[in-house]
């Protein structure tokens, strides 16, 4: 997600950094606005390939395309889930166009959405349960809005309805942003396509607080994961990660950016998802012929899995977890002091707990 955040920051910098010197003009002067010839295209691009439910019915596995080309515009990929009922594929393409006033030579940015659609897949296969043209719905409702942060789309329940949720605001030129106080939350029922508007919620800090326990899996503690994963690259820079799905009780998600980061002898994971074993074998065979798969894997676990359970899914059969050199820093510790960590029990003992865990959570949907 760090890469996603960097891309988002890039777009913001582009939007606010286009101003140039303003010349004094008579207020009766007619202003001619032209396209300045600089455009940034950005958005979310997903392509679900396969979707399975575990043998015990308590977890899901999703396979999606992850072929990110170096020349591609700022585009991110991440699937969303209503555990254990739906996988949500969001695709949106937006443009930021720099416009220029030929009289004052002052520039500003105008934003627009080219497409915005959602596909809803039923867990346990790849059957499309619903397709929603969000842009068409917005046009029908005369809502000229733009997502406020395209890294923060999520899913949650609203009045027992499974919904896609994102923050949005009215689209106005960047030179009028100071008057834009239109932020609100958009809820879309993924079963019916019904759209609801709710008061804006700034809950990013709450979600980060609840995910502090997963920081041992991120680059801050990369020594822990790298010494355990060996050949596989592990960090939070758009690669493998573990996070809590804060809107659903007891759910955590493991994300492998590259399927080749999954060990060949990962017995527990392959027992849960035999189809994944078949796919990994196919990928290995193709890789011998230097044909990379470029696919990512999500594992969503329910039942409030422990750190030990998560590592037993990440690591190969028989691999002991090493905590050599692992520390928790003062910022994240319960007493404001740095501590050496030798086990997950110590990690849970010293990691600062979330202020209100489960505050936003709803029961898992089956």
Is the pLDDT at 131 greater than 90, yes or no? yes
Q: Under a CB-based contact definition with an 8 Å cutoff, are residues 354 and 212 in contact?
A: yes
Tokens 């789309």 locate to 153
Residues 6+ apart with CB under 8 A from 143: none
Please give the mean pLDDT across all residues of the chain: 84
> What is the b/e burial string over 161-186, where b = at least 16 CB atoms within 10 angstroms of the residue's CB?
ebbbbbbbbebbebbeeeeeeeebbb
Q: Mean pLDDT, to the nearest integer, of 277-287?
A: 87
- State both tokens at 12: 């913001």
| Mean pLDDT computed over 153-175 | 91
Q: Which of 102-106, 160-164, 254-258 has the lowest mean pLDDT?
A: 102-106
Task: Return the DSSP state at 58.
Answer: S
* pLDDT at residue number 24: 43
Please give the structure tokens belonging to residue 19: 């101003």
Residues contacting 278, CB < 8 A, separation 6+: none
DSSP one-letter string for 103-120: TT--EEEEEEEEEEEEEE
Element (H, E) at 342: none
pLDDT at residue 175 in the model: 66
Dist CA 80 CA 61 (whole Å): 12
Kindly report which listed range (19-23, 230-234, 248-252, 337-341) carries the lowest average pLDDT score: 19-23
* 327 pLDDT higher than 80: yes
- 18 versus 248: the higher-pLDDT residue is 248
Q: Give the C-alpha distances (Å, rounded to integers) separating 92 from 45, 62, 195, 229.
A: 7, 20, 17, 34
Reported confidence tier of residue 181, pLDDT bands at 50, 70, 90: confident
Give 88's pLDDT tier (boundaries 50, 70, 90). Answer: very high
CA 174, 180, 184, 190 torsion-angle sign = negative
| Sequence-distant (≥ 6) Cβ neighbours of residue 110 within 8 angstroms | 96, 97, 99, 171, 173, 174
Query: Residue 40: its pLDDT value, please?
Result: 86
Question: What is the per-residue pLDDT for 71?
Answer: 46
Crossing angle between the packed helical segments 222-229 and 307-314, to the nearest 10 degrees: 40
* pTM assigned to the model: 0.84
97-106, 323-332, 347-356: which range is least confident on average? 97-106
**Residue 342 reports pLDDT greater than 50:** yes
Pairing of strands 59-65, 295-301: antiparallel
For residue range 193-243, what is the model confidence (pLDDT) as tens digits?
999 999 999 899 999 999 999 988 875 555 677 777 765 554 444 467 899
pLDDT tens digits along 229-277 = 765 554 444 467 899 999 999 999 999 888 988 988 999 999 999 999 9
Q: What gap in Å lies between CA 83 and CA 156, rounded to an integer?
A: 10
Query: Which has more pLDDT, 312 or 289?
Result: 312
Give me the mean pLDDT over the 64-93 stretch: 85
- Report how far residue 267's alpha carbon sits from residue 81's, in angstroms, rounded to the nearest whole number: 25
Give the residue-averaged pLDDT of 179-205.
93
d(CA 26, CA 73): 40
180 contacts 193 by C-beta, under 8 angstroms: no
Structural element, H or E, at residue 158: strand 154-158
Residues 6+ apart with CB under 8 A from 196: 158, 163, 186, 187, 188, 189
Q: Using H for helix, E for strand and C for coil, what is the string for 129-151?
A: EEEEEHHHHHHHCCCCEEECCCC
Position 72 pLDDT exceeds 70:
no
Greatest mean pLDDT range, 68-72, 168-172, 312-316, 359-363: 359-363
């Amino acid at each position: 997600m760090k890469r996603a955040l960097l891309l988002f920051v890039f777009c913001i910098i582009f939007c606010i950094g286009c101003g140039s010197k303003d010349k004094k003009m008579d207020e009766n002067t007619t202003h001619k606005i032209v396209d300045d010839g600089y455009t940034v295209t950005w958005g979310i691009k997903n392509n679900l390939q396969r979707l399975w439910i575990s043998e015990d019915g308590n977890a899901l596995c999703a396979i999606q395309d992850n072929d990110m080309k170096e020349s591609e515009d700022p585009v991110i990929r991440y699937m969303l889930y209503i555990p254990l009922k739906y996988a949500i594929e969001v695709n949106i393409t937006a443009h930021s166009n720099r416009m220029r006033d030929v009289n004052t030579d002052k520039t500003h940015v105008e934003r627009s959405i080219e497409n915005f659609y959602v596909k809803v897949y039923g867990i346990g296969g790849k059957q499309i349960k619903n397709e929603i043209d969000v842009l068409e719905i917005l046009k029908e409702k005369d809502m000229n809005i733009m997502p406020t942060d395209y890294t923060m789309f999520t899913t949650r329940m609203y009045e027992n309805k499974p919904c896609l949720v994102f923050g949005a605001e009215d689209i106005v030129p960047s030179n009028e942003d100071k008057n834009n106080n239109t932020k609100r939350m958009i809820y879309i029922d993924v079963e019916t396509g019904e759209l609801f508007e709710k008061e804006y919620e700034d809950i990013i800090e709450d979600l980060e607080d609840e995910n502090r326990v997963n920081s041992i899996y991120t680059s801050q503690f990369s020594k822990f994961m790298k010494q355990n994963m060996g050949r596989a690259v592990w960090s939070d820079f758009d690669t493998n990660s573990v996070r809590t799905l804060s809107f659903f009780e007891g759910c955590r998600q493991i994300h492998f950016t590259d399927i080749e980061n999954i060990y060949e002898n990962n017995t527990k994971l392959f027992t849960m998802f035999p189809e994944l074993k078949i796919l990994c074998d196919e990928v290995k065979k193709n890789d011998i012929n230097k044909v990379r798969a470029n696919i990512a894997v999500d594992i969503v676990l329910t039942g409030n899995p422990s750190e030990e359970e998560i590592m037993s899914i990440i690591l190969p059969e028989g691999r002991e977890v090493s905590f050599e050199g692992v520390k928790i820093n003062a910022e994240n510790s319960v007493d404001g002091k740095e501590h050496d960590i030798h086990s997950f029990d110590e990690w849970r003992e010293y990691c600062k707990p979330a202020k209100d865990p489960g505050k936003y959570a709803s029961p898992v949907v089956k």
